[in-house]
Each structure stands twice: as C-alpha cells, then as structure tokens.
Amino acid sequence: MGMNVGSSGGEDEVVSTINTTPLVDVMLVLLIIFLITVPVVTQSVAISLPKETNVIRHTKPENIELAVTKDGDVYWNTALVPSTDDLKDRLRKIAQMTPQPEVHIRGDDKARYEAVGKVIFAAQQIGILKLSFVTEPPSRE
C-alpha cells in the first residue's frame, strides 16, 4: 500500500502567509526575561537620605563669612583674599581660638565647584571644625 505525500498537481504551492508563531514565541521569552531581571536591576542599598531642612542662620560677630565669586575669587567677609596661602594663614589664626568660630561659605551659583572645593580643602587641612554653606531657600511658587 502506498502513501501520497505532497500536492496532487506535482507543483509546489507558494505559501504567501507569514508564520508568526516563532515571532510570538521569541517575544514571550523576551517578556519573561525582562519581567525577571527588572526587579533585580532596580534594587539598591538601603540607606536613609537626609531630609531637606532650612535652619535659620544666627549671625554672630565672630563668625567668618567666606564668599566665592563666579570668577573664583575668595573674599574674607568683604576683603579680597589674594591667594590660597593667605587664606590658610587667616584660617590658622581662627583654628587656634577657643571656642572656634563658625566658617560660613557663600558660593555663587555660577562659581566652579573647583573654587569652592579649594576653600573647603583649605579649611579641612587647617582643622576648622564648624563649616557650613549659606544657600538661598527655594522659591514657594
């Protein structure tokens, strides 16, 4: 007994439809992979971030105001400090006082971070204990 496989006309018919089954299978596999990996990627170390606080600044006459302009110039209260060495010399005198006065840094919003960082680094090297930044409170609009 024989079996006839194929078309009866002898010519193969052209299949003009797209077989979407493999495409759907691949898409489902990708969907499952993304569903499994997204929670792993979004995990981070559990830390407690500081909350925004706006503390009213109490100006005392002994506090030192350092201002950094957008050009990188440093001012001690209202007097220009010509170099980093001069700044360190002035900070040494302040560091030896008991109690040590607070140093407030006011950085221009267009100042380079490098200029403000030099002032912070100089204060750290000398041993200034109380260093704070003066900022503008956010607008209420």
pLDDT tens sequence across 39-97: 766 666 676 666 666 666 666 777 889 999 999 999 998 899 999 999 999 999 999 98
Q: Tell me how long the chain is.
A: 141
pLDDT, residue 14, reads 79
Whole-model pTM: value is 0.58
Distances (CA, A) of 112 to 70, 71, 73: 7, 8, 11
What is the distance between the alpha carbons of residues 40 and 5, in angstroms, rounded to a whole number? Answer: 52
CATH T-level assignment (fold) for domain 64-133: Nucleotidyltransferase; domain 5 (3.30.420)
More confident residue, 75 or 18: 75
Mean pLDDT for the chain overall: 82
Q: Is residue 114 very low, low, confident or very high in pLDDT (cuts 50, 70, 90)?
A: very high
Q: Please report, for the chain, the start and end positions of each structural domain, with discontinuous segments joined by +.
A: 64-133
What is the bridge-based pairing of β-strands 103-107 and 64-68? parallel
Q: Which amino acid is at 30?
A: L
Distances (CA, A) of 118 to 5, 63, 84, 112, 128: 86, 20, 8, 10, 14
Burial of 68 (0-12, 13-18, 19+ CB in 10 A): buried
Task: Return the number of other C-beta atoms located less than 10 Å from residue 87's C-beta.
Answer: 19
Task: Return the number of other C-beta atoms located less than 10 Å from residue 116's C-beta.
Answer: 19
Q: Which amino acid is at 78?
A: T
35, pLDDT greater than 70: yes
